[in-house]
Structure 1
Amino acid sequence: MSFFIFIVIGFAGNFIGTLSGGGGLISLPTMLLYGLPVHSAIGANKVANTVSSFTSFLVIFKEKEITLKESGIVLVTCLLGGATGGMVASLMSGDTLTLVAIFLLGFAFITSLLKKSNFEGEEQFKLNIKTGSSLFGIGMYDGMFGPGSGTLQMYLYASQKIAYIRAVGLNRVGVFAGCFGSSITYISTGKIEWPLTIALMFGGIIGAQVGIKVARKMNVKYINPLLRGITLLLIVQIVVNYYK
């Protein structure tokens, strides 16, 4: 029964995560409510997301909806940002990290209301001072804290007039970069409960693939409302956890 439940959790989290980021809204709290120890829950989530994000990226890459060059830019920048964030996190309190998360997500939400960024462009992702520093900052935030980093990436790609399915592919690369290093850490420290992690991974792969199929058919006018809804839910969840 537990195996099936974790397949469903993995499916739901990665389905939402593929479309707009924020899949952790579903998977992590549900695993904790189910009684999984916090380190095991985070580790399982990281391992499952590493695999599911990579498989979904491959599908988009094979269809030539994303290039190797821009994928490499996102991968390297997010890895460097994540590594830096991991080091910075040791110098900051948990309360400070929570406030940083609320500020970043709140800023992204307000900016999305002020700017008309709707994934209708056809641009490739180009590295410049603005995009590089933004992506590095998101990777750094992911290394420090994490919740909502995928959603923040989507806002960045929308601002660069990148088509939605391309943004989804780049987002999957960023998620892979953010989860890969931490997965190795959790595996090496023996925090992984493998039967449930494999179930989560299996559901995550299916959820990500279904998410890609839905993403290709989504009307762009629904994407920003979805992003904003996910952002508000993330802010509420983080605030509630902060006051707990």
Structure 2
Amino acid sequence: MFETSLDLALILIGTAFVAGFVDSIAGGGGLITLPVLLLAGATPLQALSTNKVQGCFGAATAALSYAASGHVNLRGQIKAAFLSGGAGLLGALLVSRIPTEGLRFALPVILIAIAGFFALRKGLDDTDRAERITPTAFTAFVVPLIGFYDGLVGPGTGAFFMIGFVSLAGYGVLKATAHTKMLNFASNVGGLIGFAAVGAPWWITGLAMGVAQVAGARLGARLAMRVGARLIKPLLVVSSSALALKLIWQML
């Protein structure tokens, strides 16, 4: 039934639950699932593809959870979501044609900087601040750039959306988290379409992982809405730092 053995499939499903929980709060779920998919015998392309399958479920669940509690208006994000999805599709289609080695070397530095931003910046809480660019400019320039990155490379997309909303749009931490999920869902869908066109994902395993993602994302979103920045900030710092260390270890 599964594309791998039953015991490995169960490990992947459990991993997806944890990833959905973490991703719904701070992003970085791919940091957890991708290595396990590779260890389970997936090729890099199969791992990226399957990760998009299950990631769509978690991001969608988190987005709906935050919307149901009034933290985000999903209708107001439709245009931005289409841009994010289209950019994610383009990135996935070009993944074999654009050299990404330079970006991979720079990514750990960027992620450590993001972790430092949230760890050291004083007064960073759930309070909104003055925006530095207009919502139109944010949608037109920032959203497609991050969506394209998600399709092309992937890790850290949620953290990049988060810091964009906090530092440029002026959102508080919880509001930024809520607004990240719809755009991350869209870039996941776009990336999945692109990856499915060039390399088939493990559909059955990915869908089973997606069910676990739903459960983890629901739990994580509820906890994030209850605790707010006191939970989101440290988890974001940990996930960004861990992803940076993982990328450095891979390069070495």
Q: TM-score, normalised by structure 1?
A: 0.85
Unaligned runs of 5+ in 2: 1-6
Quote the residue 1:15 is aligned against. Answer: 21
Q: Which moved more, 1:183-192 or 1:42-51?
A: 183-192
Aligned to 1:166: 175
One-letter amino acid of the structure 1 residue matched with residue 156 of structure 2: G
- 1:179-218 residue pairs with structure 2 within 5 A? 179-189=188-198, 191-218=200-227
* Contact kept in structure 1, 2:25 and 2:220, CA below 8 Å: yes
1:139 to 127, 142, 147: 147
Q: Which deviations, in whole Å up to 9, do the C-alpha atoms of 1:107-150 show, x marking residues without a partner? A: 42344356446242247996144675333332232232111011
TM-score, length of structure 2 as denominator length: 0.82
Q: Deviations over 1:188-215 (max 9, x none)?
A: 4562223311221111111111111111
Residues 190-244 of structure 1 deviation map (CA, whole Å, 9 limit, x = unaligned):
622233112211111111111111111225234322211211111111111122x
Contact 2:57 2:211 in 1 (8 A): no
The one-letter code matched in structure 1 to 2:222 is K
C-alpha offsets along residues 19-41 of structure 1, whole Å, 9 cap, x if unaligned? 10111111111121222332222
Tell me how far apart the structure 2 counterparts of residues 62 and 52 of structure 1 sit (CA, whole Å): 15
The residue number in structure 2 matching 1:178 is 187
Distance 1:128 1:137, change over 3 A: same
- Please point out which of 13, 36, 42 is paired with 2:42: 36
Give the superposition deviation at 1:54: 1.5
Counterpart contact for 1:138–1:153, Cα < 8 Å = yes
RMSD: 2.8
Instruction: Find the aligned partners of 1:188 and 1:142 in 2 and give their Cα distance.
Output: 16
Mapped pair 1:98 → 2:107:
no
Aligned residues: percent identity?
A: 24
Alignment of 1:80-159 (within 5 A): 80-83=86-89, 85-86=91-92, 89=95, 92-113=98-119, 115-116=121-122, 118-122=124-128, 127-129=135-137, 132-159=140-167
For structure 1, which runs of at least 5 residues remain unmatched after alignment? none
